[in-house]
A and B are shown apart, each in its own frame.
Chain A
């Protein structure tokens, strides 16, 4: 009953340095023709073959859903991450053939909204590029508030201002500007929905402030992909397949399971969709839960783990895989 993942063979048609941290990648179908239609907020999982290691990282689609001739993503370089963004920045060149997943949307617009209030931090701007294009094509009502470190790092702020004028507001850390969140939340028309994508601290700030101001939970949407964190290596026994594996420092548990030839279902690889949820048969040690899927109760129960982002420290761990 695994949802599995459909794959598409694509060719990199363009690589553009947007600024000193961000590069944009354009993909077209290797066999020609259009890519699948998608909805604003969707992501694809990019497969990276990196010297024997396979990385599968999710990136939001930023191109217009109205144009499926190509897909574009933007990748922010993370010099201390596990290497996916460095692979994209240093190794991916125009003309290269790659494999991506079908689009999956875990951050879709609520089409009932009378108005869409979008809040972006840094590279969290990418899903909003697609969503604003989708809304603009049908006369949708939106407003975008975008905060970043400096003018030079404000990816796409100019193109957004050009397209949508004063519906876009930019706030720069270097000028000590800050989103006037309280005032924004206090002055929205009824039926407004909030969307936030950015660093974890920013998502928490927006959600907490909205809750304090009495916004209903289901009017506040957020994209909360936790990238898997590196950590101490650990050993795992996979009871169903009868394998013993070691999870490396720079590897996620899911990646280690896949490297051993077992293919659990997945969609987001970021701890939000629930697909790779795995039962724990026994353990002696401590879980490092990093997902947003399991409840606090489940985290404490020692019965479940999300192998895409969570880790383990201790003597033994046996999983139902």
Chain B
């Protein structure tokens, strides 16, 4: 038996929700009752069963619907997917990584057969069965990066490594927390992080870059990042700000539970073998406030985190408009009891 893929939407009528099993595997990002930046990077090794870390590339019940949403975004705005000319080799590296890991982790849904350069890829949930020549762009309907990332949950930034820096030279970005590939393409690590408050002064980016440029083949790393989203919308891009920006004014004490979402990004980092580039999959998980407070510890903790968050961070993450309403709603679920350290339930 495989995954029971949900039919749902991330726009218009917003039918997205998580099954109870999916709530349990949500990557809750706070290990204590407060949040501040840290270079919270750890080795990306396969983790416990029924967690999002079970496989190096996670596929879940939202897979098919997320891929349909991506196709709609790309149809409206092809510039969400870009690859500078020198990044094609890295695209093949990424195709190999994703096909290999998905076929290994979910053999009932994906099959990869390799006969030298002749590869056959079967993707049952999306009804794809393609045979192509690895390395020959003319044998695929899209470039290698676009082909495989139309079939993989999460955004993908491919970073070229040169001159001791990382360069945003390719990517598929349709489920982003308000940043634009079309704006950032060609920028280096410090340039695309320039808008982040406080962290530069703390030396976070210098240390993070040093770590990332030394990531080795076979030893991926990961970290969690978070923000909040009103309505379960994947495409909160600057390009479409006019469609979602005003949602932030629609939060009331009555609709917090269904409308307000904690948005967690599982960011992973893999060295790509042929191109020596780094791929940065950014996987987005959404959790409704009603779903969040179904775990008592999460309800208590998130209340305290959001209440005590420094104003600069709340502003940068775009929470200012509705933060107070959500904090008041969450306070009903915080009895003041102490919480245990770590991510797990009490």
Closest B residue by C-beta to A5: B216
Closest A residue by C-beta to B93: A37
A209 to B326, CA, bound (A): 63
Q: Is the CB of A108 within 8 A of B161?
A: yes
Closest A residue by C-beta to B90: A111
Q: Is the CB of B215 within 8 A of A3?
A: yes
- A103 partner residues in chain B, CB cutoff 8 A: 217, 273
Given contacts A102-B216, A102-B219, 20 further A-B contacts (CB under 8 A): A1-B41, A3-B214, A3-B219, A4-B216, A36-B218, A38-B273, A39-B275, A41-B276, A103-B217, A104-B216, A108-B276, A110-B86, A111-B86, A111-B160, A112-B85, A217-B163, A218-B163, A267-B216, A273-B214, A274-B214
A115 to B316, CA, bound (A): 43
Interface string of B212-246 (1 = CB under 8 A from A): 00111111000000000000000000000000000
- A217 partner residues in chain B, CB cutoff 8 A: 163
The answer to the question of B39 belonging to the interface, with a C-beta cut-off of 8 Å to chain A, is yes
A112 to B: closest C-beta gap in Å: 4
Q: Is the CB of A1 within 8 A of B39?
A: yes
Interface string of A255-293 (1 = CB under 8 A from B): 000000000000100000111000000000000000000
A211 to B: closest C-beta gap in Å: 15
A105 to B93, CA, bound (A): 15
A110 to B274, CA, bound (A): 12
Closest B residue by C-beta to A37: B273
A126 to B: closest C-beta gap in Å: 17
The answer to the question of A6 belonging to the interface, with a C-beta cut-off of 8 Å to chain B, is yes
A sample of 13 inter-chain contacts (CB < 8 A) reads: A3-B211, A3-B214, A3-B216, A6-B217, A6-B218, A37-B273, A38-B274, A39-B273, A39-B275, A102-B219, A111-B86, A111-B87, A274-B210
Given A3-B214, A3-B219, decide whether A39 and B276 contact each other with a Cβ distance below 8 A: yes
A110 to B275, CA, bound (A): 9
Q: Is the CB of B214 within 8 A of A102?
A: no
With most chain B CB atoms within 10 A of its CB, the pick from A5, A41, A102 is: A102
B interface, over-half SS: loop
Given A111-B89, A111-B275, A274-B210, decide whether A6 and B161 contact each other with a Cβ distance below 8 A: no
- A65 partner residues in chain B, CB cutoff 8 A: 274
Q: Is the CB of A37 within 8 A of B214?
A: no
- A267 partner residues in chain B, CB cutoff 8 A: 214, 216
The answer to the question of B162 belonging to the interface, with a C-beta cut-off of 8 Å to chain A, is yes
A218 to B165, CA, bound (A): 11
Total interface residues in chain A, CB < 8 Å: 28
A53 to B84, CA, bound (A): 48
- A138 partner residues in chain B, CB cutoff 8 A: 89
Give the contacts of B17-46 with A (CB-CB under 8 A): 39, 41-43
A254 to B89, CA, bound (A): 36
A167 to B267, CA, bound (A): 43
The chain A residues found within 8 Å of chain B, CB to CB, are 1, 3-6, 36-39, 41-42, 65, 102-105, 108, 110-112, 134, 138, 217-218, 267, 273-275
- A273 partner residues in chain B, CB cutoff 8 A: 214
The 9 closest A-B pairs by CB, nearest first: A37-B273, A111-B86, A108-B276, A39-B276, A218-B163, A112-B86, A6-B218, A105-B276, A3-B214
Give the contacts of B187-211 with A (CB-CB under 8 A): 210-211
Q: Is the CB of B274 within 8 A of A39?
A: yes
B115 to A: closest C-beta gap in Å: 14
CB < 8 Å neighbour of A4 from B41, B84, B210, B219 = B219
A42 to B87, CA, bound (A): 19
Total interface residues in chain B, CB < 8 Å: 25
Closest A residue by C-beta to B41: A1
Interface string of B144-177 (1 = CB under 8 A from A): 0000000000000000111100000000000000
B19 to A: closest C-beta gap in Å: 35
A6 to B43, CA, bound (A): 12
Closest A residue by C-beta to B212: A3
- B211 partner residues in chain A, CB cutoff 8 A: 1, 3
- B89 partner residues in chain A, CB cutoff 8 A: 111, 138
A143 to B210, CA, bound (A): 32
B224 to A: closest C-beta gap in Å: 15
B305 to A: closest C-beta gap in Å: 24
A110 to B161, CA, bound (A): 9
- A110 partner residues in chain B, CB cutoff 8 A: 86, 162
- A112 partner residues in chain B, CB cutoff 8 A: 84-86
Given A39-B273, A111-B86, A274-B214, decide whether A218 and B162 contact each other with a Cβ distance below 8 A: yes
- B39 partner residues in chain A, CB cutoff 8 A: 1
CB < 8 Å neighbour of A102 from B41, B218, B274, B276 = B218
CB < 8 Å neighbour of B217 from A4, A104, A108, A111 = A104
- A41 partner residues in chain B, CB cutoff 8 A: 276
- A104 partner residues in chain B, CB cutoff 8 A: 216-217
- B162 partner residues in chain A, CB cutoff 8 A: 108, 110, 218
Q: Is the CB of A102 within 8 A of B217?
A: yes
A218 to B160, CA, bound (A): 14
- A1 partner residues in chain B, CB cutoff 8 A: 39, 41-42, 211
A225 to B: closest C-beta gap in Å: 16
Closest B residue by C-beta to A273: B214
A273 to B274, CA, bound (A): 20
A223 to B: closest C-beta gap in Å: 14
- B215 partner residues in chain A, CB cutoff 8 A: 3
A267 to B163, CA, bound (A): 17
Closest A residue by C-beta to B162: A110
A275 to B214, CA, bound (A): 8
A112 to B170, CA, bound (A): 13
